[in-house]
């Protein structure tokens, strides 16, 4: 249990450190290309962004490489060959681990591909653990605050060998399997975790396709998030799974205010009460959708606004190839605020919202589009390689740049119309936040950060925390034993440390900084400290500080 004692580091707070700012971009017009970096393999995922702005990206077919990139220049800082190809985003946990899952597709390394779930350290891209999957997984892991990593695997209804899907949960630190359950379908899309730890995801059913477009029936699942009881492998269900006979649930899921939102290839946008499964919304999209649900808010009414779109498939209801904005007004049908035609239809990933309410998304034709909050087209660019580019949708950096990938292996940054990702709405992008955790409690933009440091035993040392709310206490927590998982009693906070203790607390200065300084005990020579900063309900990523 974390003790409220200064046991090790007799540091005292001192203020006045300089603000550390990223270089300002040069004069650019919205839609202008800032940088482009060639990677090995197809770039289909939504990029992952660490608290210091560093980009992490894993490539798909003809790649299977995990990259670490400089967000200001696109320069490759490090790279690591993976056991298999990765279609969708890596997810970054509080301890700095990068979680991913792979497919059996050709690799840049030339090695035979393997289907695994795995964790890598973000600092040096070295593997922490891997677990073999029954089949490949083309989803993106979602992270619970219970030290669990959730994902499903491929079950192709056209292949008689793959007749059912499976869903897993892994221990985030060790890779030990906890849930290993059979599904009636293929969980090919990331779900969400709500404040109570419930896990929601959709699946594509394996029985009889509908029509020439191969649309299968599908289910939507809700799990409690608890480990199986009594040695079983099935995750306890929060409520009975929901079935659609006319289309599968193959899109990324969104969540806000106790309701889970998802589109379906039956041509509807659904809302389910998270606690009970009661249907709260069934908006007629008029065409199939596997586009994620992004959730903003109307500035005047305060109502939630759902942004999504449809594919270029005509099912006789006239809604194909469009983007829509739907207000949640309490009715089962919702209220269409605006719609716009999208050439070739929307892609799989989510629309991304900036702080001014502008929308950025990719379409099936391989274009990156920008729209205003009122549905006015602002600009668009054709991505290299065309169709299939930016499948997972774009992300937005803290300088307003829009980062997206292409099927020909380029990762690119474009000038946006805003300053950063919207952080005052419930679900502004694919998997909600810059680290792609898909958890309702994780910060959208990680601003609380411990700066890199090293300490000299027996000498004065400093550790700086920035990105804090001015005037509010910041708690510096340490461990001598490494990363772990510790629930803070009486709160929803989880520390990614083993046997953590509180080192000190001090209010942030007007710049949002705290500089802890003091004599480092001589007995720490040759050891390391694992540090986290805590303020209100925000926890920084773990920073490992060596002591020489």
Pairing of strands 254-256, 165-171: unpaired
Integer CA distances (angstroms), 100 to 53, 92, 209, 429, 444, in order = 19, 9, 30, 19, 20
Residue 94 parent element (H or E): none
DSSP strand E in 391-511: where?
Answer: 395-396, 402-405, 410-414, 449-450, 460-466, 473-479, 486-487, 494-495, 501-507
- Within 13 A of 366's CA, how many CA atoms are on the CB side? 16
Q: Which residue, 321, 320, 368, 369, is CA-closest to 345?
A: 321
Tell me phi and psi for residue 523, to 5 degrees.
Answer: -70, -10
CA dist., res. 89 & res. 404, Å (int)? 12
The predicted pLDDT at position 517 comes to 86
Locate the DSSP E strands across 429-521: 449-450, 460-466, 473-479, 486-487, 494-495, 501-507, 514-519
Spatial contact of 289 and 309, defined as CB atoms under 8 Å apart:
yes
Pairing outcome for strands 91-92 and 97-101: antiparallel
| Both tokens assigned to 204 | 């594509």
Please give the chain's pLDDT, 548 residues, in tens. Answer: 333 322 333 333 332 222 222 333 554 799 999 999 999 999 999 999 999 999 999 999 999 999 999 999 999 999 999 999 999 999 999 999 999 999 999 999 999 999 999 999 999 999 999 999 877 888 999 999 999 999 998 765 445 444 467 899 999 999 999 999 988 888 888 999 999 999 999 997 655 555 555 667 889 999 998 888 766 788 899 999 999 988 889 899 999 999 999 999 999 999 999 999 999 999 999 999 999 999 999 988 899 999 999 999 888 899 999 999 999 999 999 999 999 999 899 999 999 999 999 999 999 999 999 999 999 999 999 999 888 778 889 999 999 999 999 999 999 999 999 999 999 999 999 999 999 999 999 999 999 999 999 899 999 999 999 999 999 999 999 999 999 999 988 887 899 999 999 998 999 999 999 998 888 999 999 999 999 999 998 999 999 999 99
**Domains in the chain, start-ordered, CATH in brackets?**
255-446 (2.40.128.630), 447-546 (2.20.130.20)
């Amino acid at each position: 249990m974390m003790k409220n004692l200064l046991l090790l580091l007799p540091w005292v707070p001192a203020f006045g450190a300089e603000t550390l700012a990223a270089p300002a971009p040069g004069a650019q017009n919205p839609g202008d290309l800032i940088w482009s970096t060639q990677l090995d393999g197809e770039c289909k995922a939504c990029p992952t962004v660490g608290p210091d702005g560093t980009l992490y990206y894993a490539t798909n077919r003809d790649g299977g490489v995990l990259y670490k990139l400089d967000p200001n220049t696109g320069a490759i800082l490090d790279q690591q060959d993976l056991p298999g190809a990765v279609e969708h985003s890596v997810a970054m946990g509080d301890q700095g681990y990068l979680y991913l899952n792979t497919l059996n597709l050709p690799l840049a390394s030339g090695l035979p591909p393997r289907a695994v779930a795995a964790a890598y350290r973000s600092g040096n891209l070295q593997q922490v653990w891997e677990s073999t999957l029954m089949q490949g997984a083309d989803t993106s892991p979602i992270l619970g605050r219970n030290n669990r990593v959730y994902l499903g695997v491929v079950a192709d209804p056209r292949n008689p060998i793959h007749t059912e899907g499976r869903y897993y949960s892994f221990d985030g630190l060790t890779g030990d399997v906890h849930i290993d359950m059979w599904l009636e379908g293929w969980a090919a899309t990331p779900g969400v975790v709500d404040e109570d730890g419930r896990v929601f995801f959709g699946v594509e059913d394996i029985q009889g396709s509908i029509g020439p477009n191969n649309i299968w029936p599908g289910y939507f699942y809700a799990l409690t998030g608890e480990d199986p009881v009594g040695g079983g492998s099935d995750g306890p269900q929060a409520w009975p799974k929901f079935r659609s006979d006319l289309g599968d649930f193959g899109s990324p899921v969104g969540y806000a205010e106790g309701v889970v939102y998802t589109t379906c290839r039956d041509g509807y946008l659904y809302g389910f009460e998270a606690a009970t499964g009661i249907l709260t919304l069934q908006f007629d999209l008029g065409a199939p959708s596997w586009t994620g649900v992004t959730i903003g808010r109307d500035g005047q009414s305060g109502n939630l606004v759902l942004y999504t779109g449809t594919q270029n498939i005509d099912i006789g209801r006239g809604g194909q190839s469009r983007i829509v904005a739907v207000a949640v007004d309490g009715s089962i049908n919702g209220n269409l605020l605006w719609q716009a035609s999208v050439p070739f239809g929307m892609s799989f990933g989510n629309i991304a919202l900036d702080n001014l309410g502008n929308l950025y998304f990719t379409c099936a034709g391989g274009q990156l589009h920008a729209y205003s909050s009122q549905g006015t087209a602002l600009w668009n660019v054709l991505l290299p390689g065309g169709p299939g580019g930016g499948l997972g949708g774009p992300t937005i950096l803290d300088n307003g740049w829009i980062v997206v990938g292409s099927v020909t292996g380029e990762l690119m940054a474009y000038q946006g119309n805003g300053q950063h990702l919207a952080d005052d709405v419930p679900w502004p992008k694919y998997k909600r936040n810059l680290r792609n955790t898909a958890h309702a409690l994780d910060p959208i933009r990680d601003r609380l950060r411990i700066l890199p440091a090293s300490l000299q035993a027996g000498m004065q040392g400093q550790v700086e925390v920035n990105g804090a709310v001015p005037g509010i206490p910041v708690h510096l927590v340490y461990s001598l034993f490494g990363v772990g998982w510790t629930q803070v009693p009486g709160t929803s906070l989880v520390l990614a440390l083993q046997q953590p203790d509180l080192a000190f607390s001090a209010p942030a200065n007007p710049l949002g900084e705290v500089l802890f300084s003091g004599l480092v005990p001589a007995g720490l020579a040759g050891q390391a400290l694992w540090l986290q900063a805590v303020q209100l309900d925000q926890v920084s990523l773990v920073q490992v500080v060596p002591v020489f």
